[in-house]
Amino acid sequence: MAAKLLSTSLLTLLLISLFYSISAATNEDTTTKTMEEFSGYPTDSHHSILSFSLNSFSVESEKLQSQARVIDELSTLSDSPAPAVTRILYSEKDNLARRFIKGIMEQVGLSVREDAVGNIYGRWDGSEKGLPAVATGSHIDAIPFSGKYDGVVGVLGALEAINVLRRSGFQPKRPLEVIMFTSEEPTRFGISCLGSRLLAGSEALVNTLKLAADAQNISFFDAAKSAGYNLSPDDLSKMVLAEGSYAAFVELHIEQGPLLEEEGLSIGIVTAIAAPASIKVEFEGNGGHAGAVLMPNRNDAGLAAAELALAVERHVLESGSIDTVGTVGILELHPGAINSIPSKSHIEIDIRDIDENRRNGVIEKVHKTAINISQNRQVKLSEFKIINQDPPALSDKSVIDSMKFSTEQLNLSHKFMISRAYHDSLFMARISPMGMIFIPCYKGYSHKPEEYASIEDISNGVKVLALTLAKLSLE
Ligand SMILES: [Zn+2]
């Protein structure tokens, strides 16, 4: 009881100093800019439809300006011209960005370490020795031509949350740890959330990585070595963390959907992350000359793929739930000539749901249909491979309660919501109580250069994260 009273009064103190540090730094200099200008997105006439006539917001403080500058600075470590960001695993720019993050972690006063694949950890020791840490973090890799906020807000925002706590004189009981995860995006080796997946433990993943190569046929291990990570398959197996290694994990992220902005809300408290599955399918037929082979004599692998793509949509809609979604994002035909009947087709299917059984039911239907198509069209179904079939993750009640408490204390509007995109949190949930904090992003845009979150919204997210971390670290 005494301990509880103590933590409540510590939190109150923290709140007072939080408000103080924010209001004390307020300056009157109100800057009016269009969102596109601020985000660095070109405001030429072609994009004028995106421009607001007047979107004024005040630049709250030097702190906020410097946060915006740091986000901008990180976005320049990119293989595509601004405002687009391209940062691929173990590339030169990825390496520079890693150094940038380690530098900030050191400036913030965290002790920095890195694991075999380059997950970077910055730790602030707690007052009580031996307790598992409360962790937060996200990723900074970016798919080709994406934006500068996805993931970045959860890494730089986490470091700013630590700054906020330090400035307010807070002392955590449990250690606080900021994690920058390696390769959340699947761009280079086709595996998403590589760093957090390894922490959550997967022998199958280690075996996949032994054979993994990128589009240039560079193996995962060679790519890692060229970036300074000289690791062996054994090192990967050793990365696995035991359940309970962290007391909690919280990730701050842009929503990547339009709901918060549409509803005018500041914070999304994520209660569950949808379960993704991806499938590779290949059909093979005899091909032939587009003029010489008559229609009754064909077994067209391209049409088989087209039929399956439409069946994916049908089976997803049959689920009857708005939460079931399916996408055929890749459809390739071989040999890919206008006058040649496709002899091979390759399609990749992404199916997600917050209900694992319902999603798996759709996958089963798609599989049956693929078999039927191959029989009806006399093509060979040479591959139907489920690449991954991750279960959904539920946020932990104690973390949800802490996020809700913090949001209410800060007088910010909020709603409970589901994350339809998946994140490192999906895997951290396997070893730790998990929660996610969403902030609005412009029109829900993500994975493209127009992606934008206002510094005001980022700042709200940082404050909620700071208070949530503080609360969890005292529990
Ligand atoms: Zn992300």
Does residue 31 belong to any structural domain of this protein? yes
Helix (H, G, I), strand (E, B) or coil at 192: coil
Ligand 1 centroid – CA 474 distance (Å): 28
Ligand 1 centroid – CA 187 distance (Å): 13
Ligand 1 centroid – CA 310 distance (Å): 29
Ligand 1 centroid – CA 221 distance (Å): 24
Does residue 215 belong to any structural domain of this protein? no
Tell me the CATH number at 260.
Answer: 3.40.630.10
pLDDT of residue 53: 23
Distance (Å) of CA 325 to CA 318, 334, 353, 358: 11, 28, 7, 11
Contact yes or no for 289/297 (Cβ under 8 A): no
State residue 207 phi and psi, 5-degree precision. Answer: -65, -40
Q: Is 253 in the same domain as 317?
A: no
Ligand 1 centroid – CA 42 distance (Å): 23
Among candidate residues 251, 281, 22, 1, the one with its CA nearest the CA of residue 134 = 251
Does residue 208 belong to any structural domain of this protein? no
Among candidate residues 440, 416, 436, the one with its CA nearest the CA of residue 426 = 436
Query: Which residues have CB under 8 Å from 15's CB, separation 6+?
Result: 409, 467
Does residue 81 belong to any structural domain of this protein? yes
310's enclosing H/E stretch is: helix 301-318
Q: Tell me how crowded residue 159 is: count the other CB atoms within 10 A of its CB.
A: 23
Q: Is 9 in the same domain as 138?
A: yes
pLDDT of residue 303: 98
Note the pLDDT tens digit of each residue in 61-118: 577 778 888 999 999 999 999 899 999 999 999 999 999 999 999 999 999 999 999 9
**Distance separating the N- and C-terminal Cα atoms of the chain:** 12
pLDDT of residue 398: 97
Does residue 132 belong to any structural domain of this protein? yes
* Distance, CA of 219 to CA of 234 (rounded, Å): 16
Distance (Å) of CA 59 to CA 39, 41, 50, 73, 74: 14, 19, 22, 18, 20
Strand 111-114 vs strand 176-181: parallel, antiparallel, or unpaired? unpaired
Q: Is 382 in the same domain as 459?
A: no
What are the structure tokens assigned to 401, written together? 């309660």
pLDDT of residue 202: 77
* Structural domain containing residue 450: 2-190+242-274+392-474
Last-in-domain residue among 374, 389, 404: 389
Ligand 1 centroid – CA 446 distance (Å): 9
Q: Is 25 in the same domain as 139?
A: yes
pLDDT of residue 383: 97
Q: Is 465 in the same domain as 352?
A: no
Contact yes or no for 83/449 (Cβ under 8 A): yes
Contact yes or no for 161/469 (Cβ under 8 A): yes
Give the chain's residues under pLDDT 70: 1-61
* Distance, CA of 111 to CA of 117 (rounded, Å): 18
pLDDT of residue 41: 31
* Distance, CA of 466 to CA of 63 (rounded, Å): 15
Q: Is 134 in the same domain as 252?
A: yes
